[in-house]
């Protein structure tokens, strides 16, 4: 979670250039490290298990994990960070709030694990080529990301951005380190690498906890209303948004025939390449959104609108550059990095859908800032339904129909949020501290 200093704290009177927000540099570095580690994991993992076909169950595990974990746990991280920041601003201890959110996290984890267990055979047959060990890895991965997200919420809400960056970056670093270690000793079983995905978040959480980075002080009892004012809508929207972000490789794995497993892995490379603009987008968020939060908290609405327009311009530029680059340079880049072949058309279409998703995400954040949490949940839900319908109706060619489904769903959500934003602005809605905190942290994207 990325925040600035509490807006309740004294602010400079000047409206000049504000300094770089607290946490921007450590979180930006962590995002860069995590992104590089992600691409390295796929490169080393494929070589270690013997090829794209053998790596396909790990690909399915990867995208399923990052559809489920951020979807369910990011809202808890958001609300925990918001509630802790508020208590810090008024000088109250935060431990009771942490206890409440941990209870929620444990309940959500148990619920999803029970659903996975009940459908384990179906999941195994359709995603993991009948490998039940990979289902176990999925359960462990989902459970492991619960404490990781809660720890991030504690760190961000407590202003400990160095520790936040450690948790964010070390996930990828530990994962690639485990992957290299398995490869060096000659392990080729996909399940072992699946376990590397599953356990990697726990190392940093243990380190940060042991070093005191998660310490809290006792304070007044916390009510459920203190930690759940918008949790339902945030949870619903987050599940849809994270699922939509990771839907391409999962759908390709479900729809592809057995002899297309290698192509599914190569398609996943294209999805990862198309996400590069999203990494740039997160860097932009780290620099601009906390500034918008301060402007909103001070009631400087004209400057807030100007900053929001600036953010949208940057998003559009990044999207255009990303799509053009994918078409012109993508085939060469993916051949060099992954020794894979994907056409410029395929990569450009994936990048364009990623760019539309990025615009949709930025617009959704603006709607949340204007207290439109329910409208955002509706918009992501429309996108998810659009993906299912379009992918089902878009012909027989597996990867083409998934590409079209991804683009159509991103456009549908983007249009929904555009309409919602216009409605909120015309109705005179104004942001406040809490809605801006929710907007800043609404990023259903994991490395």
Q: Are 231 and 73 in contact (CB under 8 A)?
A: no
pLDDT at 17 (0 to 100): 44
* Nearest CA-CA partner of 432 in 307, 292, 227, 270: 292
Q: Crossing angle of helices 261-274/276-297, nearest 10°?
A: 40
User: Which pLDDT tens digit goes with each residue over 421-447?
Assistant: 889 888 877 776 666 666 666 565 554
Tens digit of each residue's pLDDT (9 = 90 or more) over 274-297: 888 777 676 566 555 556 655 665
DSSP class of residue 222 equals P
How far is it, in rounded angstroms, from Cα 80 to Cα 210?
A: 20
Please tell me the predicted confidence (pLDDT) of residue 209: 94
User: SS3 letters for 243-268?
Assistant: HHHCHHHHHHHHHCCHHHHHHHHHHH
Answer for the pair 143, 65: CB distance below 8 angstroms, yes or no. no
Low-confidence ranges of the chain (pLDDT < 50): 1-21, 447
Q: What pLDDT shows up at residue 50?
A: 87
CA dihedral 158, 162, 167, 171 (to 10 degrees): 160
pTM for the structure as a whole: 0.83
State the pLDDT at residue 183: 93
Report in angstroms the alpha-carbon separations of 380 from 220, 357, 414.
Answer: 36, 10, 9
């Amino acid at each position: 979670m990325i925040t600035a200093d509490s807006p309740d704290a004294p602010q400079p009177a000047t409206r000049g250039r504000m300094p770089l927000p607290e946490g921007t540099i450590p979180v930006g570095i962590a995002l860069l490290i995590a992104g590089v580690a992600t691409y390295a994991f796929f490169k080393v993992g494929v070589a270690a298990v013997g090829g794209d076909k053998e790596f396909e169950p790990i690909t399915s595990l990867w995208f399923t994990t990052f559809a489920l974990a951020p979807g369910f746990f990011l809202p808890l991280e958001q609300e925990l960070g918001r509630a802790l920041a508020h208590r810090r601003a008024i000088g109250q201890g935060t431990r009771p709030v942490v206890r409440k959110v941990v209870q929620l996290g444990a309940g959500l984890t148990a619920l999803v694990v029970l659903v996975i267990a009940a459908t384990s055979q179906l999941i195994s047959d359709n995603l993991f080529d009948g490998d039940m060990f990979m289902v176990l890895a999925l359960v462990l991965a989902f459970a492991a990301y619960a404490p990781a997200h809660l720890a991030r919420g504690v760190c961000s809400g407590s202003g400990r951005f160095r520790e936040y960056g450690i948790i964010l970056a070390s996930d990828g670093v530990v994962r690639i380190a485990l992957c290299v270690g398995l490869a060096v000793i000659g392990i080729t079983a996909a399940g072992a690498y699946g376990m590397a995905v599953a356990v990697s978040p726990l190392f940093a959480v243990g380190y940060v906890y042991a070093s005191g980075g998660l310490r809290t002080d006792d304070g007044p009892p916390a009510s459920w209303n203190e930690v759940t004012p918008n949790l339902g809508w945030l949870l619903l929207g987050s599940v849809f948004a994270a699922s939509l972000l990771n839907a391409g490789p999962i759908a390709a794995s479900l729809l592809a025939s057995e002899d297309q497993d290698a192509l599914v892995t190569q398609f996943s490379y294209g999805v990862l390449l198309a996400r590069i603009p999203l990494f740039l987008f997160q860097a932009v968020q780290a620099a601009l959104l906390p500034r918008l939060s301060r402007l909103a908290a001070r009631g400087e609405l004209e400057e807030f609108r100007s900053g929001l327009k600036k953010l949208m311009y940057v998003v559009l530029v990044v999207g255009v550059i990303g799509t053009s680059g994918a078409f012109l340079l993508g085939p060469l880049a993916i051949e060099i990095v992954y020794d894979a072949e994907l056409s410029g058309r395929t990569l450009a279409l994936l990048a364009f859908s990623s760019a539309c998703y990025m615009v949709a995400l930025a617009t959704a954040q603006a709607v949340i800032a204007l207290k439109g949490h329910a409208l955002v949940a509706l918009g992501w839900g429309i996108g998810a339904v659009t993906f299912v319908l379009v992918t089902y109706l878009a012909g027989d060619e597996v990867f083409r129909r998934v590409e079209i489904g991804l683009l159509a769903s991103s456009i549908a959500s983007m249009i929904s949020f555009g309409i919602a934003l216009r409605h909120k602005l015309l109705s005179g809605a104004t942001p406040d501290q809490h809605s801006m905190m929710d907007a800043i942290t609404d990023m259903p994207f994991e490395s």
